[in-house]
Amino acid sequence: MKPMRIKQVLAREAAGGDVMIQGWIRTKRDSKGFSFLEINDGSMMANIQVVADEKLANYASEIVPLTTGASVAIEGTLVDSPGKGQKYEIHAERIMVFGGADAASYPLQKKRHSFEFLRTIAHLRPRTNTFGAIARVRSGLSFAIHQFFRDRGFVYVHTPIITASDCEGAGEMFKVTTLDLANVPRTPNGAIDFEQDFFGKPANLTVSGQLEGEIFATALSNIYTFGPTFRAENSNTARHLAEFWMIEPEMAFCDLDGDMDLAEAFLQETIQYLFDHHMEDLEFFNQRIDTTVLETLHNIVDNPFERLSYTDAMAILVKHNDEFEYKVQWGSDIQTEHERHLSETVFKKPVIVTDYPKSIKAFYMKLNGDDRTVRAMDILAPRIGEIIGGSQREDDIATLERRMREFNLDPKDYWWYLDLRRYGSVPHSGFGLGFERMLLLVTGMTNIRDVIPFPRTPKNAEF
RNA sequence: UCCCCGAUAGCUCAAUCGGUAGAGCGAGCGGCUGUUAACCGCUAGGUUCAAGGUUCGAGUCCUUGUCGGGGAGCCA
Domain ranges of chain A: 6-99, 126-156+217-227+248-450
Edge to edge, the sheet with strand A175-176 lists: A162-163, A203-205, A175-176
Angle at A247 between CA A246 and CA A253, to 5 degrees: 140
Edge to edge, the sheet with strand A243-252 lists: A155-156, A222-230, A243-252, A428-434, A385-392, A373-381, A351-357, A306-309
Q: What phi and psi values does residue A451 have, to the nearest 5 degrees?
A: -115, 5
**Spatial distance between the Cα atoms of A454 and A62, rounded to a whole number of angstroms:** 34
Please tell me which residue lies nearest to nucleotide B69, judged from CA to C1': A116
The whole-number Å distance from A116's CA to B18's C1' is 32
| Cβ contact A284:A45 at 8 Å | yes
**Spatial distance between the Cα atoms of A410 and A22, rounded to a whole number of angstroms:** 61
What 3-state DSSP class applies to A90? strand
| Residue-averaged pLDDT of chain A | 92
| Cβ contact A282:A442 at 8 Å | yes
Give me the A residues in range 53-72 that sit within 7 A (CB) of strand B: 67-68
**Spatial distance between the Cα atoms of A240 and A383, rounded to a whole number of angstroms:** 15
- Work out the percent of chain A whose per-residue pLDDT is above 70: 99
The whole-number Å distance from A103's CA to B44's C1' is 15
- Give the Å distances, CA to CA, from A320 to A39, A327, A349, A449: 54, 9, 19, 33
Task: Check whether A83 has a pLDDT greater than 90.
Answer: no
| Cβ contact A273:A394 at 8 Å | no
**Spatial distance between the Cα atoms of A39 and A23, rounded to a whole number of angstroms:** 6
Q: In which band, very low, low, confident or very high, does the pLDDT at A451 lie, cut at 50, 70 and 90? A: very high
Q: What single letter denotes the amino acid at residue A374? A: V
Q: What is the mean pLDDT of residues A400-418?
A: 91
Q: What is the pLDDT of residue A134?
A: 95
Q: In which band, very low, low, confident or very high, does the pLDDT at A374 lie, cut at 50, 70 and 90? A: very high
Topology adopted by domain A6-99: OB fold (Dihydrolipoamide Acetyltransferase, E2P) (2.40.50)
The region, left, alpha or beta by phi > 0 then psi within -120 to 50, assigned to residue A383 is left
Which overall architecture, per CATH, does domain A126-156+217-227+248-450 show? 2-Layer Sandwich (3.30)
A192, with CB counted inside 10 A (0-12, 13-18, 19+), is middle
The reply to whether the CB atom of residue A359 sits less than 7 A from any atom in nucleic acid chain B is no
Task: Check whether A427 has a pLDDT greater than 90.
Answer: yes
Q: What is the pLDDT of residue A445?
A: 93
A186, with CB counted inside 10 A (0-12, 13-18, 19+), is exposed
Q: What is the mean pLDDT of residues A444-455?
A: 93
Q: In which band, very low, low, confident or very high, does the pLDDT at A182 lie, cut at 50, 70 and 90? A: confident
Closest C-alpha to A237, from A434, A442, A462: A434
Please tell me which residue lies nearest to nucleotide B28, judged from CA to C1': A104
A306-309 and A351-357 strand pairing: parallel
**Spatial distance between the Cα atoms of A90 and A140, rounded to a whole number of angstroms:** 29
Q: Which residue has the higher pLDDT, A326 or A148?
A: A148
Length of chain A: 463
**Spatial distance between the Cα atoms of A391 and A377, rounded to a whole number of angstroms:** 6
Q: Which residues pair with A248 in a beta bridge?
A: A225
What's the pTM value of the predicted model, to 2 decimals? 0.94
Q: What is the pLDDT of residue A171?
A: 67
| Cβ contact A355:A310 at 8 Å | yes
- Give the Å distances, CA to CA, from A286 to A8, A298, A305, A408: 24, 12, 23, 48
Task: Check whether A431 has a pLDDT greater than 90.
Answer: yes
The reply to whether the CB atom of residue A31 sits less than 7 A from any atom in nucleic acid chain B is yes
Give me the A residues in range 168-207 that sit within 7 A (CB) of strand B: 170-171
| Cβ contact A408:A380 at 8 Å | no
Q: In which band, very low, low, confident or very high, does the pLDDT at A358 lie, cut at 50, 70 and 90? A: very high
The whole-number Å distance from A113's CA to B22's C1' is 21
Q: What is the mean pLDDT of residues A237-253?
A: 95
A236, with CB counted inside 10 A (0-12, 13-18, 19+), is exposed
What 3-state DSSP class applies to A433? strand
> Do A6-99 and A126-156+217-227+248-450 share a fold?
no
What does DSSP assign to residue A332? P
Angle at A64 between CA A60 and CA A69, to 5 degrees: 145
Q: In which band, very low, low, confident or very high, does the pLDDT at A168 lie, cut at 50, 70 and 90? A: low
The reply to whether the CB atom of residue A277 sits less than 7 A from any atom in nucleic acid chain B is no
Q: What is the pLDDT of residue A378?
A: 94
The whole-number Å distance from A353's CA to B49's C1' is 46
Q: In which band, very low, low, confident or very high, does the pLDDT at A110 lie, cut at 50, 70 and 90? A: confident
Task: Check whether A373 has a pLDDT greater than 90.
Answer: yes
Q: What single letter denotes the amino acid at residue A153? A: G
Residue A308, CB-side half-sphere exposure with 13 Å CA sphere: 18
What does DSSP assign to residue A424? S
Q: In which band, very low, low, confident or very high, does the pLDDT at A280 lie, cut at 50, 70 and 90? A: very high
Among A310-314, A318-322, A449-453, which stretch is predicted with the lowest mean pLDDT? A318-322
Task: Check whether A170 has a pLDDT greater than 70.
Answer: no
| Chain Cα centroid distance, residue A290 | 18
- How many CB atoms are closer than 10 A to CB A256? 24
